[in-house]
């Protein structure tokens, strides 16, 4: 199963994707993408052989898919349960390399991911959490018709400054209305 928008595809991770996934996400100690993806949490590089010992756990997962652009893996989309009994699900997205940023790819990939989740799960809402230092991620949510549901002020500390935590979300009925 996969979803496609022109040259952009989201799909489950396959075994042959693992070396590229390591290169994007775990090769570098201080990757550029980490400055935007929750930089207030520590990131550690993982040696390739150590990564490969557990890498099979990424293959064919429902909640962790590759983003492929023009045949090259550029990032991932994911979800996790904030509270599964009430179907409170949160999504994530990362494009790991700067040449992918600012081109609308994140909006397109997240649109496909949300569509997949609403099509395959009995969800009432899909949302994500970001921080006020990531204007691009806030913009993606706005472009997708999401509502800023919460702004928790000055709870993310990064590079000597406090930032707000931002929660964006969209209800199934709002999503369906946008498709008309």
For residue 130, give the H/E element and its range: strand 125-131
pLDDT in tens, 108-157: 999 999 999 999 999 999 999 999 999 999 999 999 999 999 999 999 99
d(CA 175, CA 115): 8
- Please name each of the domains of the chain with its CATH number: 3-179 (3.40.630.30)
Residue 142: its pLDDT value, please? Answer: 97
pLDDT at 73: 98
d(C-alpha 91, C-alpha 70), whole Å: 23
Whether the pTM exceeds 0.75: the reply is yes
User: Per-residue pLDDT tens for 74-111?
Assistant: 999 999 999 999 999 999 999 999 999 999 999 999 99
> What was the pLDDT predicted at 60?
97
Alpha carbon distance 135, 128 (integer Å): 14
The average pLDDT across 42-53 equals 96
| pLDDT grade for 180, boundaries at 50, 70 and 90 | low
Give the residue carrying structure tokens 């600012």.
102
Task: Look over the chain and give the mean of its residue pLDDT values, rounded to a whole number.
Answer: 97
Q: What percent of the chain has pLDDT over 70?
A: 99
Mean per-residue pLDDT, 56-66: 97
DSSP string, 59-90: TT-SSEEEEEETTEEEEEEEEEEEEGGGTEEE
How high is the pLDDT of residue 179? 83
* SS3 of residue 52 by DSSP: helix
| Element holding 50 (H helix, E strand) | helix 48-54
Mean pLDDT of 1-26: 97
Average pLDDT in the 22-36 region?
96
Q: What's the residue count for the chain?
A: 180
């Amino acid at each position: 199963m996969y979803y496609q928008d022109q040259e952009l595809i989201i799909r489950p991770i396959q075994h042959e994707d693992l070396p590229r996934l390591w290169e994007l996400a775990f090769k570098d100690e201080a990757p550029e993408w980490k400055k935007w993806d929750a930089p207030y949490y520590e990131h550690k590089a993982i040696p390739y052989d150590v990564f490969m010992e557990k890498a099979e756990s990424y293959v064919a997962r429902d909640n962790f898919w590759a983003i492929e652009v023009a045949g090259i893996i550029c990032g991932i989309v994911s979800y996790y349960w904030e509270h599964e009994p009430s179907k409170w699900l949160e999504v994530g997205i990362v494009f790991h390399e700067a040449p992918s940023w600012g081109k609308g790819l994140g909006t397109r990939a997240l649109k496909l991911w949300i569509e997949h989740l609403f099509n395959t799960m009995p969800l009432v809402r899909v949302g994500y959490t970001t921080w006020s230092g990531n204007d691009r991620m806030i913009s993606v949510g706005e472009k997708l018709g999401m509502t800023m549901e919460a702004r928790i002020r000055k709870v993310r500390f990064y590079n000597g400054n406090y930032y707000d935590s931002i929660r964006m979300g969209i209800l199934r009925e709002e999503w369906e209305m946008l498709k008309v």
